[in-house]
Every structure is written in C-alpha cells, then in structure tokens.
Copies of this chain bind each other. A is one copy, B any other.
Amino acid sequence: MGIAITLEQACAWLREQDDILILTHQNPDGDTLGSAFALYYALRALGKRVRVECSDEFPRKYRFMFPDYQPEAFEERFVVAADIADTQLFGKKLERYSGAVDLCIDHHPSNTFYAAQTYLVADAAATAEAICDVIDGLGVTLDLPMATCIYTGLSTDTGCFRFSNTTAKTLSTASRMVALGVDNAEINLQMFSHKTQSRIAIEREVYNTMEYHFGNRCAVIWMTRAMLEQAGADDAELEGVSAIPTQIEGVEVGVTLREKEGGYKVSLRTSRYINASEICARLGGGGHARAAGCFLAATLEEAKRQVLVLVKQAFDRYDAEQ
C-alpha cells in the first residue's frame, strides 16, 4: 500500500518529472477526463511531454474538452492516475499499469492507496477540484482549456451543483472557471439538458402506462417492444427511465417492466426503506438494496402481479414494524 501525500508534495513531484502518462478510469466520465486533461494542459505549459490514456475510447460527448488532442508517442517515465479509486477501474487496456502508478490524484473516500503516492481530497466534490489546486500549486496560470476541463469535472460530478457533495469551495472554484470565460451554459446543455426526440417519445409512452398501488407508495411503468420500436429508442436512450417512478413524491417502490425475448425484465427501485434486492432475489434476480432486477418469463399482467404480490408483502411487513 502506498502513502498519502500533501498538495505541496504532489506538486513537487510533478514539477520534477517528465514523460508523464496520465490514466483515466474505464467508462470515462466528465471528472476523470476533465481532471486528466486539465493536468495535461498544465504540465504541457511547463514544457513537459504528456499523454492521456483510457481503456475505453474517449466518448464523443466529452471531446470538446480536448478537440485537437493527438497522443504523443513516448516511453512514460512517470504514471499519474486521475480520479481512479481502485485498480479494478483501470479496465483491460490499462490493467498493466495498475501496480505501476507513481501518483494518484483522487477524491473518492474509498481510494485503496494502490499508487506509490496518493493525493486524496476526500471532501472535494470532484477530482477536478483537487486538480485545480495542483495547477495553482505548480504555478501554472489557468487558461480557458484548463478551466473548461475543471468546470466540466465539477459540474458532472455534482449533477450541476445539485448533490450534497457541492461545497462552498466547489461553487467558488466553478465561479473562478466561469470568470475565465468557460461557456458553462453550453457545457451544461450538452451534459444535462438534452434529450433525444425518441427519448421524449418513450417518456411519453411510459407516462401513459403509469399506475399507482398501495396508497400511491408504489408506482409501476412498463415498456413493450412495440412501444420502443415505435419511439425508435435505443438502449442508451433508456438510461434512467427506471428512475422515473421513484422521483414521484411519496413513492417508495418504483417498478419498471420492459419486454424482452420471452418475458419481462423487471427493474425495482426503492427510496428509503424497502429492500429491492430481497424482493428480486425471491424472483430469481438480485442487486442492491435501492436498485435491483430480475427476469420473469411471463406476460405483462402476470409479471406485474408476481412483483406486486411481493411488494405488498414488503409494505405489510414494514407497516407492522412501525
């Protein structure tokens, strides 16, 4: 296990190094990429050779942060991990570096200290917040590309400053980035606001199916294959649909049924006190306490009935305990 180091030590290390490889986690998001590329720009400003790598392709959605990026070929002499809490997150392509990280910069309290040295800021909303301090510590003047990366990391990891990880420092850092000219509205539009027409079409269909049960504490939605086809929605566009029922005030259990070959895939979400995983386990599935799933080889009505019987039992047990 490696050691925890301070901001000053992290900056001192980076100042001394050259030919630096910066790693991002698999399924890259705005924070791992924003952090890595902000640091990339800063180290380049110091005249160093730097490269950023990821096990997955950089998603198109995030490329505005590094539109002209061309990886430079060189033999790395110092490896930095940005926003990677655990070696399991390196992904296949970067797996070979998991024991070879010289410096990890992260904000996850669950960081396993797999790197030789870790600069961990566990109360930072995003790794980008820590990277901003690193860039200041390196004596590099923040420019617009760096600020764009940092802002994107902050915004995406906080649900646009909405979640409880957003601190006064997160907001003041974001303020500083916007003062540097970051097009915050455009970034948020790209990151959060947009829904495709087919997503809107599927939401409409799904809203039309919504049923409430057990004193409105359970909401059920469903999607048939015909509905999905008609809306022209692909799997990526269905992301988050199963979160719709539990967004409703007073709904503890949200059930989403989606038609698949031979039956229905069930997604169960719960808000506070019903264990979704226990219910799905009884139907041959599994998952977490607040989000679980199973597959039922049944018609829509029969699948719904099977789930609702167990949801009712769970409510009855909960109510009896109150």
Q: List 9 contacting pairs A-B, 8 Å CB cutoff, sorted by A.
A: A160-B161, A160-B162, A162-B185, A166-B178, A166-B184, A171-B171, A175-B175, A194-B248, A195-B249
For A246, the chain B residues whose CB sits under 8 A away are 193
Q: Does A73 count as interface, using CB distance less than 8 angstroms?
A: no
Interface residues of chain A: helix, strand, loop or mixed (majority): helix
Q: How far is the CA of A190 from the CA of B269 in the complex (A)?
A: 17
Q: How far is the CA of A280 from the CA of B146 in the complex (A)?
A: 39
For A169, the chain B residues whose CB sits under 8 A away are 175
Q: Does A208 count as interface, using CB distance less than 8 angstroms?
A: yes
Q: For the complex, count residues of A whose C-beta is within 8 A of B.
A: 45
Given contacts A160-B162, A162-B185, contact A197 B212 (CB under 8 A): yes
Q: Does A238 count as interface, using CB distance less than 8 angstroms?
A: no
Please determine whether B216 and A208 come into contact, CB atoms closer than 8 angstroms: no
Within 8 A of B (CB), among A178-231: 178-179, 184-186, 188-189, 192-197, 200, 203-204, 207-208, 210, 212, 216
Closest chain-B Cβ to A272's Cβ sits at a distance in Å of 8
Chain A residues within 8 Å of B, Cβ to Cβ: 159-172, 174-176, 178-179, 184-186, 188-189, 192-197, 200, 203-204, 207-208, 210, 212, 216, 246-250, 271-272
Query: Of residues A167, A185, A246, which shows the largest number of chain B Cβ atoms within 10 Å of its Cβ?
Result: A185
* Residue of B whose beta carbon sits closest to that of A161: B161
Please determine whether B174 and A197 come into contact, CB atoms closer than 8 angstroms: no
For A247, the chain B residues whose CB sits under 8 A away are 193-195
Seed contacts A160-B162, A164-B184; 20 additional CB < 8 Å A-B pairs: A161-B184, A162-B185, A166-B178, A166-B184, A168-B178, A170-B175, A171-B171, A171-B172, A172-B175, A186-B272, A194-B247, A194-B248, A194-B249, A195-B247, A197-B249, A200-B210, A200-B248, A204-B208, A204-B210, A208-B208
Given contacts A179-B168, A203-B207, contact A193 B162 (CB under 8 A): yes
* Residue of B whose beta carbon sits closest to that of A187: B162
Please determine whether A189 and B271 come into contact, CB atoms closer than 8 angstroms: yes
Please determine whether B188 and A162 come into contact, CB atoms closer than 8 angstroms: yes
Q: How far is the CA of A203 from the CA of B195 in the complex (A)?
A: 15
For A164, the chain B residues whose CB sits under 8 A away are 184-186
* Residue of B whose beta carbon sits closest to that of A172: B175
